[in-house]
Each structure stands twice: as structure tokens, then as C-alpha cells.
Amino acid sequence: MSLDDRDYMRRPAYTPPVPRHPWWQKLNLKTVVAAAVAVAALVSATAWFLRDASYIASFLPSREGTLIVNVNTATTDELKTLPGIGPALATLIVAGRPYANVEDLERVKGIGSRTVESLRPYVKVDGETEEVR
């Protein structure tokens, strides 16, 4: 008996490769319709939720721009009520004190002349922080 007679030495018979189809050719109409219905339901639910969220938000008081803030004495929470001022800019404003006038806010990195002009109705450099009427 030679080595060629062993089972592990014999070559397997040729089997042709199984043809592979792209994933979209495996879809049937039932799957496509179910996916389209699911997408339509998701879009409809999202639109409904956003409509309700904007309706509810219209009754909530806006915190942005409701105070006239003294930038020399205000806390970071009071500064965050200013339009366009977030926690990072509020911290930088506090670190850059004192300010002689509103234009001195341009010294703060991230605040330019346009931002100062938009903040002008809501900031001051003397007196107390007060509510906008």
C-alpha cells in the first residue's frame, strides 16, 4: 500500500462554487413593503413628536435674554442667560474682569464686535443685574 492509497492524500472531487447574489436580489416584495411601512411610521412619529415639542415649548418661558446683566458682578449662571453665551464663554468673561465699558468684552477670546453688538441690550458694567421688562 502506497501513500497515494490513503484517504487524506486523495483530492476531493471538483465542486463548482455556489453562485453568490447581491443582497438586494434576495429581497422579496413582502420585505420591501414591511421596511417601507416601518420607515414611514418612524418619519410620521418623529414629525408628530417635533410638532408637539414645539407646541409645548411655546408655553415655557425663555431664559435667554431675560436679564440685563452686570458683567462685572454676574455669576456664570446669569451670564449664560445672555444670547450666544454658553458655559465656556461665561467662564472666560468672569476671568477677564473688570470691564470699564461694554466694548471691553471684545478682549474675551470668542467674542467679537458683532457679538458685543448683539449683547449690548442685555449687558451693563455698573449697577445691579435686573429683569427685562
Going from the C-alpha of 37 to that of each of 40, 42, 49, the distances in angstroms are 5, 9, 18
pLDDT in tens, the chain (133 residues): 566 666 666 666 677 788 788 877 778 889 899 999 999 999 998 888 877 666 666 665 555 567 899 999 999 989 988 888 889 999 999 999 999 999 999 999 999 999 999 999 999 999 888 887 6
Residue 124: what are its φ and ψ, rounded to 5°? -150, 170
Contact 76, 129 (CB under 8 A): no
The pTM (predicted TM-score) of the whole model is: 0.52
Amino acid at 93: I
For position 7, what pLDDT does the model report? 63
Q: Which of 113, 88, 87 is nearest to 102 (CA)?
A: 113
For position 26, what pLDDT does the model report? 79
Contact 116, 105 (CB under 8 A): yes
Q: Specify the 3-state DSSP secondary structure of 67.
A: strand
Handedness of CA 39, 40, 45, 50 (dihedral sign): positive
For position 124, what pLDDT does the model report? 93
For position 42, what pLDDT does the model report? 95
Omega before residue 83 within 30° of 0, cis: no
For position 1, what pLDDT does the model report? 57
